[in-house]
Amino acid sequence: MTKPAILVARSIFPEVLQKLRRHFEVESNDGDQPLSREQLISKLQGKAGAFTTGGERIDAGLLKACPQLRICANMAVGFNNFDLPAMTAAKVLGTNTPDVLTETTADFGFALLMATARRMTESEHFLRAGQWKKWAYDMFAGAEVHGSTLGILGMGRIGQGIARRGAHGFGMKVIYHNRSRLAPQLEKECGATYVGKEQLLREADHLVLVLPYSKESHHAIGAAELAQMKPTATLVNIARGGIVDDAALAKALREKRIAAAGLDVFEGEPQVHPDLLTVPNVVLTPHIASATIKTRLAMANLAADNLVAFLTQGRPLTPLNPE
Ligand code: DGY
């Protein structure tokens, strides 16, 4: 029997590629560059499946040009690169990688919060530049973490993981805002209290963004929202670029309208707004919140297993748009 053909759009773990080769005719992009849209469309000709990594836009135009495509398996929990209604209309399944990255990503969100509040990268740059000559009572004095108020915007699995760390590990008061309120038992487990968005902005000492990107969440944090935050507050974005208006944030940071920010995601990444690169009170990381070897391997395996389960048995593991 001939094996179905698939495309692996980015270089992935060799053992995962090997597993895929047992089930499929695999064409893989083993270079270190993403495929251009034209290359993606060309390589998808005749392919039943695509292993995608979040950077490949799957929309109506691409689907029309690739009529044999039946599934796109994203190695990411976020799927804003998928036009899901267009995929559903074209009868193409999308899958993502929930759960396997939750705790790792929550760890990173907390690490970024700590680094931002305690000015870790700013002070490291100072030290490396040979500027540390004396003790000073206010040298890199940052914001308190333990006992402060942690605000969380978006309360899915990762938000809940951050809430637990804050409430139970750091004695923080945790407030959150989400499209829907958690069940009372879950709120209790997370040590979190539901508030309106305005109250969240006003009261948070540290505000962490963990909501999915959509048209509705585009620039959920812009100049008006930043103006409502405390001047001593920090903002952490581990969700998606585009949720924050990066130009407005850079301005607010420069004018010290909020104290600091920690950003793992950017509008138009891997490009970063030039103004963010020149303000000192921001910690910048290149979209690595889920990046531990163990978690990235689990994500890759889950994406691969979705392709295998769907294309060989018609039963995907984590479908986004089941029939
Ligand atoms: C995700 O899974 O959506 C992350 O942003 C990619 O690491």
Q: Which CATH number fits domain 102-284: 3.40.50.720, 3.40.50.300, 3.20.20.20, 3.30.450.20?
A: 3.40.50.720
Bridge partners for 164 per DSSP? none
* C-alpha angle 52-53-59 in degrees, rounded to nearest 5: 55
User: Which pLDDT score is estimated for 1?
Assistant: 76
Q: Which residues line ligand 1 (CB under 6 A)?
A: 54, 76-78, 101, 290
Domain spanning 5-100+293-313, CATH architecture: 3-Layer(aba) Sandwich (3.40)
User: Which pLDDT score is estimated for 182?
Assistant: 98
The active-site residue, picked from 25, 189, 203, 269, is 269
User: Which pLDDT score is estimated for 93?
Assistant: 98
Report the nearest atom of ligand 1 relative to the CA of 296: 7
Q: What distance in angstroms lies between residue 242's CA and the mean position of ligand 1's atoms?
A: 14
Phi/psi at 140 (5° precision):
50, 35
User: Which pLDDT score is estimated for 45?
Assistant: 98
The active-site residue, picked from 118, 164, 240, 296, is 240
Q: What distance in angstroms lies between residue 9's CA and the mean position of ligand 1's atoms?
A: 16
Side chain identity at 178, as an amino acid letter? N
| Prediction ipTM score | 0.93
| CATH 3.40.50.720 domain residues, the chain | 5-100+293-313, 102-284
Q: What distance in angstroms lies between residue 290's CA and the mean position of ligand 1's atoms?
A: 6
The Cα 298–Cα 16 span in angstroms is 10
> Is 287 noted as a catalytic residue in this protein?
yes
Phi/psi at 180 (5° precision):
-125, 150
User: Which pLDDT score is estimated for 323?
Assistant: 77
Q: Which residue's CA lies nearest to atom 1 of ligand 1?
A: 76
User: Which pLDDT score is estimated for 91?
Assistant: 98
Q: Which residue's CA lies nearest to atom 7 of ligand 1?
A: 290
> Is 240 noted as a catalytic residue in this protein?
yes
Q: What distance in angstroms lies between residue 74's CA and the mean position of ligand 1's atoms?
A: 9
The active-site residue, picked from 119, 164, 287, 296, is 287
Instruction: For a ligand 1 pocket test, name from 12, 290, 292, 302 the mutation site with the most ligand atoms within 8 angstroms of its C-beta.
Output: 290
DSSP assigned state of 2:
P
Query: pLDDT by residue for the chain (323 residues), tens digit each?
Result: 799 999 999 999 999 999 999 999 999 999 889 999 999 999 999 999 999 999 999 999 999 999 999 999 999 999 999 999 999 999 999 999 999 999 999 999 999 999 999 999 999 999 999 999 999 999 999 999 999 999 999 999 999 999 999 999 999 999 999 999 999 999 999 999 999 999 999 999 999 999 999 999 999 999 999 999 999 999 999 999 999 999 999 999 999 999 999 999 999 999 999 999 999 999 999 999 999 999 999 999 999 999 999 999 999 999 999 87
DSSP assigned state of 163:
H
Q: Which residue's CA lies nearest to atom 2 of ligand 1?
A: 76
Do 319 and 297 form a contact (C-beta atoms < 8 A)?
Answer: no
Residue 193 tokens, joined: 């209290």
- End-to-end CA distance of the chain: give it in Å, rounded: 26
Q: Which residue's CA lies nearest to atom 4 of ligand 1?
A: 76
> Is 269 noted as a catalytic residue in this protein?
yes
